[in-house]
Amino acid sequence: MKIIIDATTTQDQFANRGIGRYTNEVVSRMIEYSSQQGMGDTFYLLLFKSPTTLTPVLKKYSEIIKTIDLGPLRISGFLNDLWWNLQIKPKIKRLIREEHPDVYFCPYFWRNFPVKKISTVVAIHDLAFPILNRYSLRPHIFDLIRKFQYHSTLNRVSKVAGVITDSENTKNDLLKYVKAVNRDKVFPIHLGISDEFHKIEVDEDVILKYLPKNVLDQGYIIYYGGVEVNKNVENIVRAYSMLVSNWKSKSNEENKSKLPYLVLAGGDFTKLDMRHKALAQVRYLIEELNLQEYVYFTGFFEDEDLNDLLSAAKLMVHISLYEGFGFAALEAMKCRVPVVASDKSFYQEVLGDGALLVDPQNPDLIAQAFSRVLSDEEVAKKLSELGGKKADSYTWDKTSQKTYDLFRSFVGLEN
């Protein structure tokens, strides 16, 4: 096969986030498999003249990779359509004309993609924007423009050979918002969780880079991720406030001293401008509920330190109102940390019985779930075991192989 892959998400602002990680993991494993099995494929990687997380793969398997220089780095955003038409599309048209490739793979549909003269496969990771009806954090006019751009691009997926979604739930969401999409052309392929996540002996020095020693000694509940509205961080804070009140009401002084702190991890909580509405509301709520002495922020943390931060936690909470897959909860589960998560359909599919699922819009039930895990060792142990087993079932090798096999099916090759 000759496969064109838009690999720009390994270079732009998504390079170290979910979309960039997906592109890196799937593409690198696909190329490795093709080389080792002698499949005879050629991979044409569309890349800006900028660093990429795929550099090790480019060097190791250069004999089956051809990089297509797209020129200066362009951040994905408001001008995507402009850069697509001026900078990217002409290169693709020439490549199709001269090399006659079989498949075009777009790991992030909003970068745009061709729909003629090649079998295009597009990945759609979630439908958060239309479901939440918010397309930009900028003023209203920009939100309207981004909404128009989003749906203009999204509607084009009805013309491609195939669409990959992260879950059955996302497939159903897509069919709801784009009526013209053929159900039989949408292929749910679950993502993988890196083997870098596993239960470890915690390095206290790592934790102390981000948190004071009393937090480590007394234990903590951790949330990590963004602060966007769909992440539902406000209800985490409300539920934690109820936990604090209930804990303080206990007569046993020893139990009072074991109240775990709440740790909100990630750079968004400390680096975003306070004019960011969701962040401002979270910060205000913490003050309003008098939780300043109980809630800690790690700020930005190094990727290699996340395993320690998760493994040291008594439990992890992730009660999003919407997710396409849910990396964070699964990464904690892979570290054998009990997880309290949203009972929405996307997590029912992906997490199953590996987490304690609750109504994300009911802080009282969330607080009860916290108490159950923290006070009952058997419950915590069972969640740790079931969660770990569930998380272990999601591997990038499976994701990559299913994606590669799908490409071959469009070319008429047997797997």
Condensed to tens digits (0 to 9), the pLDDT of residues 95-134 reads 999 999 999 999 999 999 999 889 999 999 999 899 988 8
pLDDT at residue 17 in the model = 82
| The CATH fold of domain 204-392 | Rossmann fold (3.40.50)
Q: What is the mean pLDDT of residues 365-375?
A: 95
CATH of 2-192+396-411, one of 3.40.50.1970, 3.30.70.3040, 3.40.50.720, 3.40.50.2000: 3.40.50.2000
Condensed to tens digits (0 to 9), the pLDDT of residues 38-47 reads 999 999 999 9
Q: Can you read off the two tokens belonging to residue 368?
A: 């009860």
pLDDT at residue 323 in the model = 86
Q: Can you read off the two tokens belonging to residue 255?
A: 């139990």
pLDDT at 138 over 80: no
3-state helix, strand, coil in the chain (%, to 5): 50, 15, 35
Q: What is the mean pLDDT of residues 291-316?
A: 93
- Which of these, 64, 317, 29, lies nearest to 191 by C-alpha position? 29
- Beta-carbon contacts of 28 under 8 Å, excluding residues fewer than 6 positions away, are 54, 56, 57
- Which of these, 18, 23, 88, lies nearest to 53 by C-alpha position? 23
pLDDT at residue 136 in the model = 78
One-letter amino acid identity for 101? P
pLDDT at residue 98 in the model = 95
Element (H, E) at 298: strand 295-299
129-137: long-range contacts (C-beta < 8 A, 24 or more apart)? 130/154, 130/177, 131/173, 131/230, 131/322, 132/229, 132/230, 132/321, 132/322, 134/229, 137/276
Tell me the three state secondary structure of residue 312.
coil
Tell me the three state secondary structure of residue 41.
coil
Q: What is the mean pLDDT of residues 337-359?
A: 94
One-letter amino acid identity for 165? T
Domains 2-192+396-411 and 204-392 share a fold: yes
pLDDT at residue 72 in the model = 93
pLDDT at residue 232 in the model = 92
pTM, 2 dp: 0.90
Tell me the three state secondary structure of residue 276.
coil
- Which of these, 333, 318, 189, lies nearest to 266 by C-alpha position? 318
Q: 126 to each of 86, 130, 164, 239, 343, how far by Cα in Å?
A: 28, 10, 11, 27, 17
Q: Can you read off the two tokens belonging to residue 208?
A: 């102390």
Gap between the Cα atoms of 140 and 147, Å rounded: 10
Q: Would you kindly state where each structural domain of the chain is located, as residue ranges? A: 2-192+396-411, 204-392
Count CB-CB contacts under 10 A for residue 184: 7
